[in-house]
Structure 1
Amino acid sequence: MADALELDTLWEDFHRAVNMTSAELAAWLRVQDATEEAEALPDQAGSPTGRHVLAILQKRRTDLTDDDIRVMYEVVDTVEDLADPENEPERETTPQDTHRRHRLMTLGHDPLKP
């Protein structure tokens, strides 16, 4: 388990990286898994990491597990690697932009959100 200062920093970094609310993320995960024939059950929609991020958003810092902390580090690192806030277009312009945005949104980060 991380020490208190490290956990405080991670908590802040995670909530800065994850700029979608739990309601927005839950809705996005359901949309991503919906097909013309079926829609996933709400608690089974999205990737395992996306569902884990959603669960973390609904927790208090004192309730985090070691697995939560591992996922939080992964999400912060991935968002930092994929997001480019200084060069972010105000809208999606290419299929690559759309794919990157959707990948980030699965982790709770919408690059088009102010």
Structure 2
Amino acid sequence: MAPGSSLGWDEIRREFDTVVNMTPAELVKWLDTEESQSVGWTRKGEQESVGHQSGRRIVEIKRKKTAELTDEDYAHMRKVVGYVRRHEAQGGPAGDKRHSRWRYSLMNWGHDPLRGK
């Protein structure tokens, strides 16, 4: 089991693979856009937002085989699942979701809320 979690690693991986609905290639391309870089909270003294850093980490995780995943990878997967679930529950803005900071932020975390809609 992952540290501090009642979920087993297999379940964490399944949840992660469910909420991260962008491929590594799509996410890499997205992270290079102005829209991606325009959203999110940046820690003091850093240049890159937390979400943007997460996106890069997600790409690394998605490219690993299950046997290569570390405890830190599973901890990050749990963080991604929590972030996406919380922000999806907000439902986004009432107006244009396609061009919203809400969507852009979720996409930095590997989740396009408009995919499949």
Residue 52 of structure 1 and its aligned partner are, at CA, apart by: 0.4
Among residues 9, 14, 17, which one is paired with 2:11 in the alignment? 9
Distance in 1 (alpha carbons) for counterparts of 2:19 and 2:97: 23
Distance in 2 (alpha carbons) for counterparts of 1:107 and 1:69: 15
Distance in 1 (alpha carbons) for counterparts of 2:109 and 2:96: 21
| Runs of 4+ displaced beyond 4 Å | none
Cα deviations across residues 27-81 of structure 1 (Å, max 9, x unaligned)? 00111349xxxxxxxxx9x822111011011011111111111110100000000
Among residues 93, 96, 107, which one is paired with 1:93 in the alignment? 96
- Tell me if structure 2 keeps the 8 A contact 1:25–1:54: yes
Q: TM-score, normalised by structure 1?
A: 0.74
Distance in 1 (alpha carbons) for counterparts of 2:112 and 2:28: 13
Residue 93 of structure 1 and its aligned partner are, at CA, apart by: 1.2
- Tell me if structure 2 keeps the 8 A contact 1:75–1:107: yes
Distance in 2 (alpha carbons) for counterparts of 1:64 and 1:112: 29
Among residues 7, 13, 25, which one is paired with 1:23 in the alignment? 25
Distance in 2 (alpha carbons) for counterparts of 1:51 and 1:98: 21
Distance in 1 (alpha carbons) for counterparts of 2:64 and 2:97: 36
Distance in 1 (alpha carbons) for counterparts of 2:75 and 2:92: 27
Q: What RMSD, in angstroms, separates the aligned Cα atoms of the two structures?
A: 3.0
Among residues 63, 67, 70, which one is paired with 1:62 in the alignment? 67
Secondary structure at 2:16 match in 1:
helix
Stretches of structure 1 that go unaligned for 5 or more consecutive residues are: 35-43
Which structure carries more helix by proportion? 1
Stretches of structure 2 that go unaligned for 5 or more consecutive residues are: 39-47
Residue 94 of structure 1 and its aligned partner are, at CA, apart by: 5.7
Count residues with an aligned counterpart: 99
- Tell me if structure 2 keeps the 8 A contact 1:88–1:111: no
User: Counterpart in 1 of 2:105?
Assistant: 103
